[in-house]
Amino acid sequence: MKGNVRKIAIFGATSAMARGAARRFASEKAEFVLVARSAEKLDAVKADLLAFGAARAETVLCDLSDVAAQAAALDAVWNALGEVDAVLVAYGSLPDQKACEADTALAMREFANNGSSAIALCNEIGKRLEAQGRGCLAVISSVAADRGRESNYLYGSAKAALATFVDGMAVRLSKKGIRVIDVKPGLVSSPMTAHLKQGPLFASSDKVGAGIAKAIADGKTEGTLYLPGIWALIMFVVRHVPYFVFKKTRF
């Protein structure tokens, strides 16, 4: 099933969901370029993928929230792989909402990390895939993008900006033979959410990663993808709850 996805770039490769997806392709002898800001964590991911059967895994150090640094990382990816079959954008953070309310500079840094820097990166990736004339771009946004919630509306607004950009780019690039997938995970158990109470709606990062890999590999999926799929129904309901009711909930 994954035979046509041989060369893969992952931006934010130390993400638990990204690793879950990458392992599926590693078992099919794929080649990787892994981009993230921690050399130690990148080396661990590289070793993991090689153990799972990857034909090759190279690492590139880059703080992707720094838009000026992205070009060099993109050049390194394309120089290493030639043409790229699939790109996964998986970096981000889960900011402290109260801290962002108190510190506007912090809020803008978190918005840039989760939103505007990822938009800049996706725009450049889109241009390179368009020049190739083929490929798939999967971008992890969040169900938090679907409606502003009191508990995380800074994060949600950044992901909403990213999701809207990616959805529009998906429509444009579909006419060029390029698939773009806006992945919207629900609640996921990962290091980023370890401090949260884990309820029955939490899915493992490995399960969500498997869903991402399947969508990339199937040659058909594009546009918005909720993972696990139940979140499409949950968020349909959340989006349509009247405001006077919604503001009384603790969702």
Query: Mean pLDDT, to the nearest integer, of 176-203?
Result: 79
Angle of CA points 21, 168, 96, to nearest 5°? 60
Position with higher pLDDT, 160 vs 3:
160
Neighbours of 69 (CB within 10 A): 15
Query: Mean pLDDT, to the nearest integer, of 128-157?
Result: 95
By percentage, how much of the chain surpasses pLDDT 70? 94
pLDDT at 191: 64
Query: Mean pLDDT, to the nearest integer, of 108-134?
Result: 97
**Domains, the chain, ordered by start:** 7-246 (3.40.50.720)
pLDDT exceeds cutoff 80 at 93:
yes
* Sequence-ordered list of residues with C-beta below 8 angstroms from that of 155, at least 6 positions apart, any chain: 94, 95, 97, 110, 114, 142, 144
pLDDT at 63: 97
Query: Mean pLDDT, to the nearest integer, of 144-158?
Result: 95
pLDDT at 224: 97
pLDDT exceeds cutoff 50 at 119:
yes
Query: Mean pLDDT, to the nearest integer, of 236-246?
Result: 93
pLDDT exceeds cutoff 90 at 195:
no
pLDDT at 1: 40
pLDDT at 144: 94
pLDDT exceeds cutoff 60 at 3:
no
pLDDT at 238: 93
Query: Mean pLDDT, to the nearest integer, of 186-200?
Result: 69
Query: Mean pLDDT, to the nearest integer, of 176-194?
Result: 85
The band of 2, judged by pLDDT with boundaries at 50, 70 and 90, is very low
Give the Cα separation of 58 and 52 in Å (integer). 15
By percentage, how much of the chain surpasses pLDDT 90? 87
C-beta contacts of 110-115 below 8 A and 24+ residues apart? 110/154, 110/155, 110/158, 111/154, 111/157, 111/158, 111/161, 112/65, 113/65, 113/158, 114/155, 114/158, 114/159, 114/162, 115/157, 115/158, 115/159, 115/161, 115/162
pLDDT at 249: 81
* Sequence-ordered list of residues with C-beta below 8 angstroms from that of 27, at least 6 positions apart, any chain: 52, 53
Give the Cα separation of 118 and 66 in Å (integer). 10
Query: Mean pLDDT, to the nearest integer, of 116-139?
Result: 97
The helix or strand, by DSSP H or E, that contains position 168, with its residue range, turns out to be: helix 153-174
pLDDT exceeds cutoff 80 at 201:
no
pLDDT exceeds cutoff 70 at 192:
no
DSSP code at position 83: S
Query: Mean pLDDT, to the nearest integer, of 214-224?
Result: 96
The band of 30, judged by pLDDT with boundaries at 50, 70 and 90, is very high
Position with higher pLDDT, 32 vs 202:
32
pLDDT at 149: 92
